[in-house]
Each structure stands twice: as structure tokens, then as C-alpha cells.
Chains A and B, each alone.
Chain A
Amino acid sequence: MGLKSVVACLHHDPARVARLHEGDDLGLSAEEAEWLRAVPRAAWGVDPMRARRVAGALIEEFPQAAAIIGRDRVMEFCASAAFLSVCEGEGNLASAFACWADAGPTARIEGAMAQARRGGAAVLEVPASVMSAWHSRVDGGLAERVAQGARLPRPAEEGETIWVIAESRGGNVSVAELPEALARLVIYGLEGRTRADLVEEARRLGAEDDAEVVVDELLELGTVRAR
């Protein structure tokens, strides 16, 4: 981990600050570690704006999940091991938050949308009741209200599950239901397959005579890409 990543971690990880001041150079050169020790120890933990900015961005991208766990809990993400892993270069903030937030399938839906926003599609299986609740709660003003402290109850997880796909088209991310066989074909295709492999998988999943048409449509839409 380079000096800048260590600096980012120190702002959020008191244990690492303690190690630094106990003599651990944190994998840096002795000169760089001395630069860090020259900073007043308390300075690492005092900038409230940083956690607020991160929380604000997460609330914008995960408004319903944030409403379920609450603004104050979102603020705690910056002190979590999941966040520090991102500081260390593993994954991205959105996927780490989606896993960390205890908001059930709602976080997974918004995590899939976040993934689609960053390019590519995301497919997942969720309770139909949660998907329905999610659609009914879509509201452009929700993030602003959550930032002010508004909450939403956790939606019921009951009944059958459905498959949904999150995709970005023209800058807009949408979530739509799709049949299980098609969902499994997209998941198979997300890993990068040849067209022939995709057609064969489509046939195995039951597309039979339509297999080539289905695959070509997915390729044309960019939902999957041929290797």
C-alpha cells in the first residue's frame, strides 16, 4: 500500500494510528513514516466533513437502503473494516457498502444499480415483495430526506422470488424483471463467453430454436459481450 492509501486509512482507522505511534512504519519507508508521525495524532480523526461527504454520496446512490438503516448508521460505514478494505485498494465503495449495509435485498437491488452505473449489467434474485416495495418507494426526494434523518421500514421478505436485471442505457439505470432462464444466461454471459458458448448455454436453458436470436439480441443490446 502506498503512502496516499495509508493516509486515507489513517483518517478512518484509530487502531492504525496507534500502531504508527507505537513504531510500526505501516509498510512505508522510514522517512514517510516519520512524515506521518509529525502530524499531531488527534488530527487524523477530526475532520467530520469527510465521513459526511462519503455518507452523502452513499445516501444518494442507496437512498432506500440508507433509509432502512438510517443516516447515523450510514455514517458509521467510514469506520468499518469494509470501508478500510476499499481504502487499501480492494473493490469499490458502492459494492462494499451494499455488502456491509444490513438492509437485506434492498441494498442488493441498489448495489446492482450502482454496479450497472459503473458499466455492465447486474443480475440478482430477490423476493418479489421487496422488489415491489422498492418500485413503490422510488422517489427523487428520498435521498435529501434521508440525509435529514428520515427512515423507511424494512420491507417484508415473503412469497416467491424473482430475477431482476439492472442495466444502464443512455445514462439511466433501470431495473426490470426477467425470466429465470434468461437471467441465468446473462449471468453466464457476464463472465465473457464466445457467441457459440452462449448459444449452447441458451439451448441448455431451454431456448431451443430461439437460442441464436436471444443471444444476438443480448449481444446487440450490450447486456453480454462475446469474447
Chain B
Amino acid sequence: MNFQSRVQALPRLGLGVSTEYGAARSLGALDVGALRAKFPQYASFLEVGVEVSKGLDADTERWASSGAPTTYHFLDLNLDEPEDFDADWIAGVRDHIRSLRPSWICGDAGLWHFGRRDRGQMLLLPPILSDAQAMSMAEGVARLRAETGLEVLPENPPGSAYVGPLHLLDYFARLCDRADTGMLLDCAHLAIFQQARGHQPLDGLADFDLSRVVEIHVAGGRKRSVDGFSWIEDEHSPSVLPETWRIVEHVVPRAPNLKAIVFECERCRLPDVLPVFRRLEALWG
């Protein structure tokens, strides 16, 4: 069955938030429980960032045991490196899948670590934007899908230095086509890429097959400049940049298979995030 058929079986999760190990207990963290209690439509699901070696924290286990929907966001896999798919890691992923019962797996298709996988590296660099790299990444996506039986949605990572001749959207078009998969389009990360390469926010989107987009991420960022060099910092603040909104507002109405939107705001106070959720709700209904 190809992606366009498989995607029809995926549930529409709606608007959600993300977390990772210990995030809910850190200073100034968003109270996801309070958000879900007061505005359940803004916390319809929880995207759980997982490092297999760390496991799930108590807050996430509580969410999962309530039966509320989740997605599994890996934080420890270089999709293009076959040696990352070792038996222990695969077994760990399957354990967490049993606990979380995620609707799908997603994660940044970049470099989470250098050398052998090691807990806590969290390097997170963008992929090398070349055709060969897209092909290697596609093999990893297909393999993880086969190993878990779940859809695997590669995400465009953030970065300050993008290496390689391809535009990010061209890279992901090749990756999605070769892996026959959907993707997670992080609109804030795309805005970062466009700015870094001197493009306009919507450059490349007209030619991109938006039926591949199953999930999008929205997050606040900050424009910074040092010695004449400007870049966008992926802050996950409540202040979503106009460039990110332009991408969101272009993609959402044109993505027929869009099933989920995550507002990444794990370090924000609840009152500060509500305007963004309201705007997303109005946009996506």
C-alpha cells in the first residue's frame, strides 16, 4: 500500500503540544495538564520526545496511561546511519511504543549525534542537503517503518549552517518520494532555513507536494544578529515570527493530509500561548 493510501488511515489528532524527559518539571514549564483541563482542544495529543536510554518520565507515563493520544518523536536516531538501528535500540523503541501507543513516529531527519550513539548528545544538525544523503535518509525511514509498523514522518531540522547544494524542500521532496512517506514540516525551522539561504519564506513551496505533509510544527523564534550576520534562533517562545506565520498560513489550507499541528511551547506560561492556539484553531478549524 503506498503512502497516499496509508495516510487515509491515520487519525486526525488536531492541535497538540510537545514534551520530552523532565520537561514538565523544569522551571517555567507549560502545565500541560492545566492546558488540557481548561482548553482540551489545544492539547488533543502529546508529542513525546524520546531518548531510548532515558525512557519516559512520570508525567508522560501518566498521560499515556490515561489513553490520551500521543505521537513518538525520536531524539536519538541518525536515520541515515544503519548502525543506529541496533537490536537494543529497536527493542527500546518497541517498549516505548507499547506504553505510548503513538499514532505515528516522527523526528528530525538530521544529525542527532556524532560517532556512536551516546545518551544526551542532542547535537541536532540539519542533514547534508544532497541527493545521496536524501537517499540514505529514505532507507532509514523505510526501515524504521518496517521495524515498528508505524508511519515515520521525517522532520526538517533547525540549523544555522546548511550544507549542500539542494534547497531544503527539494531535499525533502526527494526523501519523501524515495521513502514513500509523509513528513512533518516544521514551519519555524523552514523559516530559519529560508532566512539562512537568503530566500523568501514561501520560496519552493509552490513546487512542493503538500499532500506529503501530515503534521506541522509552529514555534516562536527570535531574530538575532552578530557582526552583520543575521539568523533566527529557534526559541520555542510564544512569539511566532511573521515569516513562520506566512508559511503556516500557506501550508495549512493546501495540505489535504494534514492530521496534526504542534505548537512547541514547552517553556511558556499558559496565558502566553493561548493567542497562538486561537489563531491556529481559526486557521485550521
Is A39's CB under 8 angstroms from B123's CB? no
Question: Measured between C-beta atoms, what is the minimum distance from A54 to chain B in Å?
Answer: 7
- A57-B121, A58-B120 in contact; A5/B224 too (CB < 8 A)? no
Is B114's CB under 8 angstroms from A39's CB? no
> Which chain A residues lie closer than 8 Å to B161 at the CB level?
7, 10-11, 39-40, 43-44
> Which chain B residues lie closer than 8 Å to A87 at the CB level?
114-115
Which of A167-189 touch B at CB < 8 Å?
171
Which of B146-195 touch A at CB < 8 Å?
159-165
8 contacts between A and B (CB under 8 A): A36-B163, A40-B196, A44-B160, A44-B161, A56-B122, A60-B120, A117-B53, A144-B26
Q: Nearest B residue to A86 by beta-carbon distance?
A: B115
Indicate the size class of the contact surface on chain A: 35 or more
* Bound Cα distance from A60 to B23, whole angstroms: 13
> Which chain A residues lie closer than 8 Å to B124 at the CB level?
50, 53
> Which chain B residues lie closer than 8 Å to A3 at the CB level?
128, 163
Question: Measured between C-beta atoms, what is the minimum distance from A195 to chain B in Å?
Answer: 26
The 0/1 profile, CB within 8 Å of A marked 1, for residues 191-228 of chain B is 00000100000000000000000000000000010111
Decide if A49 is an interface residue (CB 8 Å cutoff): yes
Is B119's CB under 8 angstroms from A61's CB? yes
Is B231's CB under 8 angstroms from A8's CB? no
- Additional 12 contacts, C-beta under 8 A, given A44-B161, A92-B115: A7-B128, A8-B111, A40-B161, A42-B226, A42-B228, A44-B160, A46-B229, A54-B121, A57-B120, A60-B120, A87-B115, A117-B119
The 0/1 profile, CB within 8 Å of B marked 1, for residues 71-113 of chain A is 0000000000000001101101110000000000000000000
Residue from B26, B116, B160 in contact with A46 in the complex, judged by beta carbons closer than 8 Å: B160
Is B114's CB under 8 angstroms from A49's CB? no
> Which chain A residues lie closer than 8 Å to B226 at the CB level?
42, 46
Is B123's CB under 8 angstroms from A148's CB? no
Question: Measured between C-beta atoms, what is the minimum distance from A72 to chain B in Å?
Answer: 18
* Bound Cα distance from A48 to B124, whole angstroms: 12
Question: Measured between C-beta atoms, what is the minimum distance from B88 to chain A in Å?
Answer: 9
Decide if A118 is an interface residue (CB 8 Å cutoff): yes
Residue from B120, B123, B228 in contact with A61 in the complex, judged by beta carbons closer than 8 Å: B120
Question: Measured between C-beta atoms, what is the minimum distance from B282 to chain A in Å?
Answer: 30
Which of A1-55 touch B at CB < 8 Å?
3-5, 7-8, 10-11, 35-36, 38-40, 42-44, 46-50, 53-54
Is B162's CB under 8 angstroms from A39's CB? yes
Question: Measured between C-beta atoms, what is the minimum distance from A149 to chain B in Å?
Answer: 12
> Which chain A residues lie closer than 8 Å to B31 at the CB level?
none
> Which chain A residues lie closer than 8 Å to B97 at the CB level?
none
Decide if B234 is an interface residue (CB 8 Å cutoff): yes
Is A42's CB under 8 angstroms from B125's CB? no
Is A89's CB under 8 angstroms from B114's CB? yes
The 0/1 profile, CB within 8 Å of B marked 1, for residues 181-221 of chain A is 00000000000000000000000000000000000000000
Question: Measured between C-beta atoms, what is the minimum distance from B118 to chain A in Å?
Answer: 5
Question: Measured between C-beta atoms, what is the minimum distance from B56 to chain A in Å?
Answer: 12
> Which chain A residues lie closer than 8 Å to B115 at the CB level?
5, 86-87, 89-90, 92
Question: Measured between C-beta atoms, what is the minimum distance from A173 to chain B in Å?
Answer: 12
Nearest 10 CB-CB pairings of A with B: A57-B120, A42-B229, A53-B122, A43-B161, A8-B114, A47-B160, A39-B161, A92-B118, A43-B160, A89-B115
Decide if B27 is an interface residue (CB 8 Å cutoff): yes
> Which chain B residues lie closer than 8 Å to A93 at the CB level?
118, 120-121
Residue from A48, A53, A57 in contact with B119 in the complex, judged by beta carbons closer than 8 Å: A57
Q: Nearest B residue to A31 by beta-carbon distance?
A: B165
> Which chain A residues lie closer than 8 Å to B227 at the CB level?
42
Q: Nearest A residue to B236 by beta-carbon distance?
A: A49
* Bound Cα distance from A36 to B128, whole angstroms: 10
Which of B66-124 touch A at CB < 8 Å?
111, 114-116, 118-124
* Bound Cα distance from A168 to B55, whole angstroms: 15
Question: Measured between C-beta atoms, what is the minimum distance from A122 to chain B in Å?
Answer: 16
Residue from B53, B123, B163 in contact with A50 in the complex, judged by beta carbons closer than 8 Å: B123
Is B234's CB under 8 angstroms from A40's CB? no
Is B120's CB under 8 angstroms from A35's CB? no
Decide if B139 is an interface residue (CB 8 Å cutoff): no
* Bound Cα distance from A17 to B102, whole angstroms: 42
Question: Measured between C-beta atoms, what is the minimum distance from B152 to chain A in Å?
Answer: 21
> Which chain B residues lie closer than 8 Å to A171 at the CB level?
55
> Which chain B residues lie closer than 8 Å to A144 at the CB level?
25-27
* Bound Cα distance from A193 to B159, whole angstroms: 47
